[in-house]
């Protein structure tokens, strides 16, 4: 019922307002129809006060002033200042309170109370005591200001809630887009590391095997067997990487969520990595300073991928036949350095450049570390990553 009335009022706002003002006029003018002093003057005052309410939204201060003067004249003519006689100025004060700053509305309220009460006390000739002329009048004139203040506070609260909701919606969409972009970069980086490493390693092994086929067939056969292991490892890592994207809620995903997943690689697989590069003709030595510390899974994976990518770059772009991996453990960090001595004829980089160094830097930053890469003063290239032990 209340909802239906609200919808009707919204659709017929002017009609509802006219009905409301007629009720105000009927209630106010009725107070002057009791044989009181100056009935005709009182009716004229009620008419003027109610007509002024038509402009209460556009000129709230002027309407308050007109209705206050009308109420003061009614008190001066000797009429009792009942709530119905004060109704026009009550409506005007409420409208003023919801449309102007609260401090201004309070100032006007005090001025109206002073005007109406003083008029009734100084010029009113009726049987009301001074307490009846002051306390109830002040109460009824303060009531619309208090009600208007509550309405303003509620409107401000609803506006703030609406603004926060809109901001949260915009932020949620932006955050979702940001997370999607980050996830795409992460997946691209992981696929790049897996594919680039194994393809470069397989290419180097195939080239070495082709070179040794006639002169050292036994070594060539061994390298070809290693090549089979390299391609199998590539397939396993690709399956594991893609498996991370196939969650149990994916209808096309595997029935067993762990079927295509294996533990993420870490520095514990360095011997396997060194052996794979050795079969491709790159001799890698590993040295460790300090007591080996347990790394968090994210840092362990990052350190392994940086070593893997750095050695892949040595195999692809440098003429060096040896490389060094140095791990230095401190109290709260691990420093990973991959270096080579270079050669007389380094192979040119791939057309269009590559994303190896960019990916390594992104990986280091993602766990709160940093990475530096550049040519060594004595020749060759070095990549150094400083990573926290835990994230």
Cα–Cα distance, 310 to 324 (Å, whole number): 10
Query: Does the reported pTM lie above 0.75?
Result: no
Give the angle subtended at the CA of 27 by the CAs of 25 and 30, to the nearest 5°.
Answer: 100
361-366, long-range: CB < 8 A, 24+ apart: 362/185, 362/189, 363/189, 363/302, 363/305, 363/306, 364/302, 364/306, 366/186, 366/298, 366/302
**How far is the CA of 253 from the CAs of 215, 232, 234, 258, in angstroms?**
49, 22, 21, 11
Contact indicator for 269, 230 with CB cutoff of 8 Å: no
* Sign of the torsion formed by the C-alpha atoms of 255, 259, 260 and 266: positive
Which tokens go with 73? Answer: 């004249």
Contact indicator for 46, 70 with CB cutoff of 8 Å: yes
Three-state SS at 257: coil
Grouped pLDDT means (10 residues each) for the chain, 391 residues: 57 68 76 61 82 87 91 81 86 90 90 86 69 83 91 90 86 79 73 69 71 74 71 70 55 44 74 81 88 87 88 75 90 91 50 64 88 85 90 71
DSSP characters over 301-345: HHHHHHHHHHHHHHHHH---SEEEEEEEE-SSEEEEEEEE---SS
pLDDT for residue 349: 43
Cα–Cα distance, 292 to 145 (Å, whole number): 74
Give the angle subtended at the CA of 268 by the CAs of 357 and 263, to the nearest 5°.
Answer: 85
Q: Which of 252, 250, 245, 254 is nearest to 184 (CA)?
A: 245
pLDDT for residue 110: 92
């Amino acid at each position: 019922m209340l909802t239906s009335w609200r919808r009707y009022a919204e659709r017929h706002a002017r009609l509802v307002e006219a009905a409301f003002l007629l009720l105000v006029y009927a209630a106010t003018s009725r107070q002057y129809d009791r044989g009181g002093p100056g009935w005709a003057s009182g009716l004229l005052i009620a008419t003027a006060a109610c007509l002024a309410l038509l402009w209460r939204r556009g000129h709230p201060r002027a309407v308050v002033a007109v209705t206050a003067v009308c109420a003061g004249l009614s008190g001066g003519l000797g009429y009792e200042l009942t709530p119905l006689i004060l109704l026009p100025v009550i409506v005007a004060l409420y409208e003023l309170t919801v449309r102007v700053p609260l401090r201004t509305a309070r100032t006007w309220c005090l001025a109206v109370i002073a005007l109406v009460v003083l008029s009734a006390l100084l010029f009113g000739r009726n049987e009301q005591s001074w307490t009846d002329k002051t306390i109830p009048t002040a109460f009824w004139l303060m009531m619309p200001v208090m009600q208007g203040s509550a309405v303003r506070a509620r409107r401000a609260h609803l506006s703030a809630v609406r603004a926060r909701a809109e901001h949260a919606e915009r932020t949620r969409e932006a955050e979702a887009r940001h997370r999607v972009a980050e996830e795409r970069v992460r997946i691209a980086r992981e696929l790049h590391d897996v594919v680039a490493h194994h393809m470069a390693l397989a290419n180097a092994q195939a080239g070495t095997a082709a070179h040794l086929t006639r002169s050292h067939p036994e070594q060539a056969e061994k390298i070809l067997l290693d090549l089979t292991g390299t391609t199998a490892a590539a397939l396993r890592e690709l399956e594991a990487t893609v498996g991370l994207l196939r969650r149990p809620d994916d209808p096309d995903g595997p029935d067993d969520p762990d079927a295509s997943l294996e533990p993420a690689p870490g520095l514990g697989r360095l011997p396997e990595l060194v052996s794979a590069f050795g079969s491709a003709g790159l001799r890698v030595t590993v040295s460790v300073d300090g007591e080996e510390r347990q790394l968090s899974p994210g840092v362990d994976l990052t350190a392994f991928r940086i070593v893997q990518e750095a050695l892949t770059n040595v195999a692809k772009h440098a003429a060096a036949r040896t490389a060094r991996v140095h791990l230095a453990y401190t109290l709260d960090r691990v420093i990973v350095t991959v270096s080579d001595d270079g050669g007389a004829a380094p192979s040119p980089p791939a057309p269009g450049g590559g994303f190896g160094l960019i990916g390594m830097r992104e990986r280091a930053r993602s766990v709160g570390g940093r990475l530096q890469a550049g040519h060594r003063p004595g020749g060759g290239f070095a990549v150094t990553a400083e990573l926290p032990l835990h994230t």
